[in-house]
Structure 1
Amino acid sequence: MALKHTTPPTTAPTDSPTAPQQRIVQIAQAQARPVAERVIEATRMSLQSRLDCARTPGEHHAMLEARQQLVRLASVMAERYPDALRKALEQDTAQGDDKPTRSLFTVHFDELELMDETQINESVERARARQILISAVEGPLADLDALVCGARGLPLVQPEHNPLRPDVFLQALQSVVSQMQVTPQVRHDWMGLMAQALGTELRSLYLTQIDQLKQSGVKPVGYAMRQATGEMLYVAPADEGMSPGFAADNDLSASSSTGDPLLTLDRLRRLLLGEFNAAPAPDQAHALPGDPGESFAERFAREFEHPAAALPQIDSPATDFAMTVPAAFEALQEMNQVGQMMERLGTPRAPAGSGADGTPAATQRLQVQGLGQTLSMEVVALMVDNIARDTRLLWPVQQFIRALEPALMQLVLADPRFFSHKEHAARRLLQDITDRSLAFNSPDAPGFQSFMRSLMHIAGPLTTATIDSADDFENVLQQLHAKWDEKDQALKQERLRAIEALQHAEQRHLLAAQISRELWLLPDIGKVPDAISRFLLGPWAQVMAESRLSAKPGAADPGRYQELADALIWSVQPELTRANTAQLARLLPKLLTKLREGLASIDYPADRTEAVFELLMQLHQQAFTPGPGMAAPSHAPAPAATAATPTAEPPPQPAPLDDDPWVAPSEARESGYIEISQSPQSESEGADPAPQAEAASSDAAAPSLPRATITVGTWVNLQVAGQWERTQLSWIGSHGNLFLFTSPSGRTQSMTLRLLSRLLQHGAMQVLAEQAVVDNALNAVAQTAMHNSVESRH
């Protein structure tokens, strides 16, 4: 592959990160109608050219119809396109960082059985149009992606942050075309040519925007690498500390089979629906297409030379041309495809358990009948190959999955439900093995050898067994779970203690937010100094919440901490306490003792409240020392507010529910809580607290997960004390602001949503993938079928 180095951004651009994005979006919207008009005109000229070169009446009629309909609807489509593009851009912007990573032009494996033939055809047409468009803009698009991400200050290229992605323009165009009342054939004739014309327009737009961004001083990020598929991919330089086994890109579609025409999207859907499951009766007059028991010469003679004898007898013999010649040529195509596929499947795919001719022994025993079973074996072969190529798996696990391939091939011949039933025992076994293996980032990781021994001892016999049903896989699955549960039980109690501590912190935080709002409504809260009101609305609200959680139900003011809040507000107003110094003198010893007692109940650090206690002492001393300012005339200007004088300004707002919860030191130790000051950005900022405070305030504006929400069970690489550690998200708080990760050794790390977002943004946490390994592999099979369907219609 060709490697081109691009200098990462050393200085932030002068504009805000969103300014370049807003400008190019505005330019795209302003040019939407002219672009649509040029695309339509280029399509009309291409249709006219094809019409002039038509060789058959059918082709001439199709091109004439497509051109006439295009001319009739050109103005309507050009008028509607700007609004469709605006909606597509707004939808993309509204999704923001939480936009799904899945493309609208792909199909998931498990969705196929829910689709009809029309939807399949539409999906193939969308994918074909996208392929044409991407090939036209590939180079400039990669450069624009790098520049847009550089302008936004991202550390590496994330193409989803480019608002002018080809998919957005194509989605808008297909939306407009779908609104036109024309036949599917006309839409088919339009879209390929429109995609070509749109590619030309977007290429010009991208080159213009690239020049403007470069002239503005924007620098691209990462490296540009040309992949084997010809696509450009930008990645950041690999850190030496990156843990082995990690790969940022796990898209397996490019590494799947180059594609056999037998595997198409429609046939894959029929396989999931079970349309190939009916086996031919022994006395059936003719074999299924592709039956290896019948030679092609026999099939051709039966269906082409003697069609009436080959077909079921009805009242009148069927002699239609469509049932003879096309059927014979389809049989030829399918039988050739089946032969080629079986030849490929017969090659050795796993070194263990092979026969004398190099073919796996289990595969030699297979009796394949018909297109459906051959297709099942091809899907299994592609799925296994995709799993074994998944870079998230360590090589011993990859090899073990390959060794299971003969057993899986036997299974799908006996039980085709493997494809359509997501909870099938064999699919769950593959998923559980691969998911559990993600706990290890190298073959030398603690526990990996024990994990592999359990696989070899319990699941290893499957590699050479004769498989009759899913029960063989179910028994192995139960045994593996029993073995793993023995180890998990020892770590379960530690994890439960960590979760219990975090749940208590979360409950206290939610109750403290409610109490904070109640204190904020007190009539005199606005008359106390800012530091005191912040103390009441923050730490003291946590103290009151802790007392209520620990008290018996129905207690009105457990610990009398609400009463203390009222007394504290009175005691810090010298104009009130001067009038009753005796009462203040009696209150102070109890007040200070009760304050320290309450803060100790939540183990609140004393150094965080030193300034508050010093301020209390100053305010209380003012009560016993009449100030000269008291005799000042009413018309005199008020003195400037100081730290020791009350203010008439509104009190600080109460703590919002989405603010960071207070986690007590004991709870932090129990759950491995990581303070936001320990994040990589904060560490790099040094000891100066000002940048940290500024960063925290900016984070507080919108704590959110970049790109996609991480779910329980997701494995990540987390940078801890400069070292990468493999760990799994094992718990999320009920309000989504606390997260607990657990490593295979049982070590826990917990953090807030704000810190999690920061770690992801700064590359200190790397998500292996949101999608499960087996689902990823099967979706790659669907993409291969999609690719074959697209290629077959070129």
Structure 2
Amino acid sequence: MPADSSLLEQCFARVVHEAGPLSGRCIDVAIASLQQAENQGREVAEREGLANAWWRLQQQRDALVAQYPDRLAQAFRQGDGGSSLSVPAPLSGSSFLALVDDNAVNESLEAVRLQQALMPVVEQALAMVDARMSSLIGLETVHVEKNPIRPSVFVRTLRDLMSERESDAPVRTLWLQHVAPPLARELCTLYERVALMLQNAHVQEAGYRIRLVADGAPSRPSPLAQEGPPEDDGETSASRWGSVSAAPAGTATPPAADFRMGDLAREQTPLRHGVMRAFLAGEGEAFDAPLDNGYYEQVRHELARVDGHAARPPLDEGAIERERTRYRDLPVVERPARQVHGASPLSAERWGVYAAPHERARVLLELKHQADQVSQAVGLDVVRKLVDQVARDPLLLAPVREAVVAMEPALLRLAMTEPRYFGQDDHPARRLIESVAQRSFRYNDEFATDFDAFFEPVRAQVVALNDAASPEPAPFAQALSSLQAHWSAADAEGEERQKRQRDALQLAEARQELANQIAWEISHRPDLYNVPGIVLDFLYGSWSLVIAGAQLSHPEAGEDPFGFRKVIGDLLWSTRREVTLRQPRQLFDIVPSMLQTLRRGLDMLGKPPEETQTFFDALLKLHEPALKLRRIRAQADHAGSSGRTPLDIGEGDDSTLHDTLLAAATPEQQKPQPPEQPWIGQRERAFAGLDPMPVPGTEEAGVGDRSLAEGAETPAPMPPEALTDLLSALQVGGWADLHSGGEWLRAQLVWVGTNRNLFLFTSRGGRSHTMTRRSCEKLLSGRWLRPVASRPVVKKALEAVVQAAPRGAPRHDAVALAD
């Protein structure tokens, strides 16, 4: 398919937009890391080198941050035109060493190490981007080297930019060493966002291509030789794989005389996994051989046996229903997966005539009797194997697996015209099964009404496909199109709501990040001496947010659109009692407009009055001595004019000034402390449809669900490493079971904060769940939040069919990634 240039440009714009802040955070962490290394260094020369490195990096920070986005944008559009990060080999070659000095070699090696250090951190998120980006630029299979935003582009651009800004190679080497960890984390988050952006744009994943690689053994048994009783095709080791490509030229194929036709005629095939692997890979001419008379005679025997099963009384519908509802009363996270396999009896009320296993077997054998070539018979066996594999997949709810089993007759008919169609990841039948499976991951309860609303159209389409009895893929494409249209209509409102929620959280995060910077700038003002702690808390917290919000909403008006920065000086001056008592008139002149500005800024931000009332009460107490002095002087002037004795104009009772609220800021209060999560106003939450804030003091702000663990026993402490693994398993687009409001909900993680300090989940009906990292860890530790594994279902089943080997048997083939 042609590349979607507009969406690709949106991806570039998104990455370039975030590149500046991303590089700034990486450099800041690298500077801190270099400083820490300097403090821990023992050798004087080492400490001097580290100090020189961080000082120079600090000097170049702004230039690097400013230039990095533009250079990245240029690199994206140049494609592969950039220089390679790999070191010319061998390093020991005299011709190479004659041209490159040790510093250049070390720097190049550090750049390679930097890229290698990124991969373990970004691998999972990058795989999603690689698959969707390959599809976006028009490739049918994944080509990681053609991903325009691959890690090497970021590393190469940063290295080249550093080389331009710093001429000392050892210094650049230190920069690259210490920038690696933060760059890995930042790229991981960035790739998650890009993957979600492409997913929301309905960009399909391209498939990974695999090929057969001969092991060089002197001889191989016939791939169609019988291997004895089939073994369990459980999980097998595999790599990243989708479709199957042809074997390399020269791979030996068995002659037609080696086929055992009787094995192909059976209902339960005993064929080796290697046979199916070679078949789907298009290996050899043996699969094009015609079927012999012995094959057809065996098929007729098998059909007679199946007819004998048909004479048996059918399984009682009541027994099927009892088995289906056996564990209904258990919580969904405690229900055992109901067993389903290719020969399972299904409900005739739901699936019609093909609910009976012998009816599905009859279709298989009748098609085998109609087959002309070995490829058709093997293709039918591959379909049956894959159906059985998907039916046993415990990640899927039982009704979804039953739907695949019930679909088997329609899937078998396709194999007569396209025997190898399951090896094509873009085939409508394969896409239909995968799409239904992936859609089903948003449900965790087969008895819930929302699952019924999803599943009933699926059931109807399966029945219609069986009724159509077509050997062509068009009905599958029509069924998928119909379901996707139904899903898109159902998702439209939810996608808009999710967009508002993500936009609100991203705005809050950007505002909080800018507010933290503003608070840090305020903390360096020279007029903060002896300021009460409550005033500093207000300036570092609410007022920094006010200034940040004004700058973000009115970027064209500069750094102080409404004079919110300017009022800080008036506020600090008004709190200095030794000054205001000497200049009360000036205080009376500035206080009204100052209060008006403060109120207006807080109202624009959306801060409710009750959140800042304590501050304004304290401010009134700070101004009270001057107000009191004014009243006394007014009384004195009045007494003098009337001939009465003037009152004492002393400073009066100042006991209120000793209130703890008015105490001077402690050393801890003088330093702004960034909050754990961004502040989000109630108005913003209501507009975006985010969950409401909890009652203050009962839960962490942002969790919004106080019933998650009510009535539960306190779990045993979870080891930190296990908790870290669970937290890292939470990736954007992934699913989890979340206990909320007395029930277990299937929730999707749709957004993660830049520093992974805030998480947004959505569940049934578009309900949102925002939580801090601390809350998330608490829920994971208490098992009230349980990540749910999800993966490509058909791809995994295909791997089990073509890659598994009998236990203890030697492997004569290997599976390798193809470029």
TM-score (norm 2): 0.49
Cα drift, residue 662 of structure 1:
0.8
Question: Does structure 2 conserve the Cα–Cα contact (< 8 Å) formed by 1:680 and 1:762?
Answer: no
Letter in 1 for 2:440: S
Letter in 2 for 1:764: W
Equivalent residue number for residue 771 of structure 1: 791
RMSD: 5.0
Cα drift, residue 760 of structure 1:
2.4
Question: Does structure 1 conserve the Cα–Cα contact (< 8 Å) formed by 2:735 and 2:788?
Answer: yes
Confirm or deny that 1:786 pairs with 2:804: yes
CA distance 1:111–1:486, change in 2 (3 Å): closer
Equivalent residue number for residue 717 of structure 1: 737
CA distance 1:512–1:271, change in 2 (3 Å): farther
Letter in 1 for 2:685: A
2:485 aligned residue (469, 478, 482) = 482
- Three-state SS of the structure 2 residue aligned to 1:468 is coil
Question: Does structure 2 conserve the Cα–Cα contact (< 8 Å) formed by 1:738 and 1:750?
Answer: yes
- Three-state SS of the structure 2 residue aligned to 1:749 is strand
Question: Does structure 2 conserve the Cα–Cα contact (< 8 Å) formed by 1:277 and 1:372?
Answer: no
Correspondence list, 1:566-577, <5 A? 566-577=569-580
Equivalent residue number for residue 365 of structure 1: 367
Correspondence list, 1:121-136, <5 A? none
Question: Does structure 1 conserve the Cα–Cα contact (< 8 Å) formed by 2:707 and 2:742?
Answer: no
Confirm or deny that 1:664 pairs with 2:684: no
Unaligned runs of 5+ in 1: 1-90, 103-108, 122-166, 168-258, 283-290, 298-339, 627-638, 687-694
Correspondence list, 1:4-23, <5 A? none
CA distance 1:582–1:418, change in 2 (3 Å): farther
Question: Does structure 1 conserve the Cα–Cα contact (< 8 Å) formed by 2:726 and 2:780?
Answer: yes
CA distance 1:99–1:474, change in 2 (3 Å): closer
Question: Does structure 2 conserve the Cα–Cα contact (< 8 Å) formed by 1:516 and 1:538?
Answer: yes
Equivalent residue number for residue 45 of structure 1: none
Cα drift, residue 707 of structure 1:
4.7
State the distance in 2 between where 1:781 and 1:566 align. Answer: 74
State the distance in 1 between where 2:357 and 2:555 align. Answer: 77
State the distance in 1 between where 2:359 and 2:566 align. Answer: 85
CA distance 1:116–1:615, change in 2 (3 Å): farther
- Three-state SS of the structure 1 residue aligned to 2:429 is helix
State the distance in 2 between where 1:703 and 1:773 align. Answer: 27
Equivalent residue number for residue 729 of structure 1: 749
Equivalent residue number for residue 591 of structure 2: 588
Letter in 2 for 1:505: A
CA distance 1:703–1:613, change in 2 (3 Å): farther
State the distance in 2 between where 1:568 and 1:376 align. Answer: 81
- Three-state SS of the structure 2 residue aligned to 1:745 is helix
Equivalent residue number for residue 700 of structure 2: 677
Equivalent residue number for residue 129 of structure 1: none
Letter in 1 for 2:465: L
Aligned residues: 480
Equivalent residue number for residue 766 of structure 2: 746
Equivalent residue number for residue 180 of structure 1: none
Equivalent residue number for residue 775 of structure 2: 755
Letter in 2 for 1:481: Q
Cα drift, residue 473 of structure 1:
1.8
Deviations 1:186-217 (A, max 9, x none): xxxxxxxxxxxxxxxxxxxxxxxxxxxxxxxx
Letter in 2 for 1:786: A
Deviations 1:480-510 (A, max 9, x none): 1122223333444444443443343233223
Question: Does structure 2 conserve the Cα–Cα contact (< 8 Å) formed by 1:730 and 1:742?
Answer: yes
Unaligned runs of 5+ in 2: 1-115, 128-205, 219-236, 238-267, 298-304, 310-340, 630-656, 711-716, 813-819
CA distance 1:790–1:525, change in 2 (3 Å): farther
Equivalent residue number for residue 449 of structure 2: 446
1:538 aligned residue (541, 545, 548) = 541
Question: Does structure 2 conserve the Cα–Cα contact (< 8 Å) formed by 1:113 and 1:269?
Answer: no
Deviating more after overlay: 558-567 vs 709-718:
709-718
Deviations 1:664-720 (A, max 9, x none): 11222321256553769977999xxxxxxxx9xxx9xx9977353434443332222
State the distance in 2 between where 1:647 and 1:584 align. Answer: 22
Question: Does structure 2 conserve the Cα–Cα contact (< 8 Å) formed by 1:349 and 1:360?
Answer: no
Confirm or deny that 1:463 pairs with 2:475: no
2:288 aligned residue (280, 305, 316) = 280
Correspondence list, 1:1-400, <5 A? 113-114=210-211, 116-118=213-215, 262-264=271-273, 267=275, 269-275=277-283, 279-280=287-288, 352-353=352-353, 358-363=359-364, 364-366=366-368, 367=370, 376-400=379-403
Question: Does structure 2 conserve the Cα–Cα contact (< 8 Å) formed by 1:97 and 1:708?
Answer: no
CA distance 1:443–1:647, change in 2 (3 Å): closer
- Three-state SS of the structure 2 residue aligned to 1:672 is coil
Question: Does structure 1 conserve the Cα–Cα contact (< 8 Å) formed by 2:428 and 2:477?
Answer: yes
CA distance 1:292–1:396, change in 2 (3 Å): farther
Deviations 1:764-789 (A, max 9, x none): 2222323244445445546xx43526
- Three-state SS of the structure 2 residue aligned to 1:729 is strand
State the distance in 2 between where 1:536 and 1:494 align. Answer: 33
CA distance 1:793–1:580, change in 2 (3 Å): same
Question: Does structure 1 conserve the Cα–Cα contact (< 8 Å) formed by 2:430 and 2:794?
Answer: yes
State the distance in 1 between where 2:613 and 2:498 align. Answer: 35
Equivalent residue number for residue 259 of structure 2: none
State the distance in 2 between where 1:369 and 1:452 align. Answer: 37
Identity %, equivalent residues: 29
Question: Does structure 2 conserve the Cα–Cα contact (< 8 Å) formed by 1:393 and 1:434?
Answer: yes
Equivalent residue number for residue 706 of structure 1: 726
Equivalent residue number for residue 106 of structure 2: none
Confirm or deny that 1:563 pairs with 2:566: yes
Cα drift, residue 413 of structure 1:
5.2
State the distance in 2 between where 1:501 and 1:375 align. Answer: 55
State the distance in 2 between where 1:470 and 1:624 align. Answer: 86
State the distance in 1 between where 2:212 and 2:671 align. Answer: 52
Question: Does structure 1 conserve the Cα–Cα contact (< 8 Å) formed by 2:546 and 2:605?
Answer: yes
2:439 aligned residue (436, 439, 453) = 436
Equivalent residue number for residue 509 of structure 2: 506
CA distance 1:681–1:550, change in 2 (3 Å): closer
- Three-state SS of the structure 2 residue aligned to 1:559 is coil
State the distance in 2 between where 1:119 and 1:404 align. Answer: 41
- Three-state SS of the structure 2 residue aligned to 1:671 is coil
CA distance 1:360–1:378, change in 2 (3 Å): closer
CA distance 1:429–1:735, change in 2 (3 Å): farther
Letter in 2 for 1:742: T
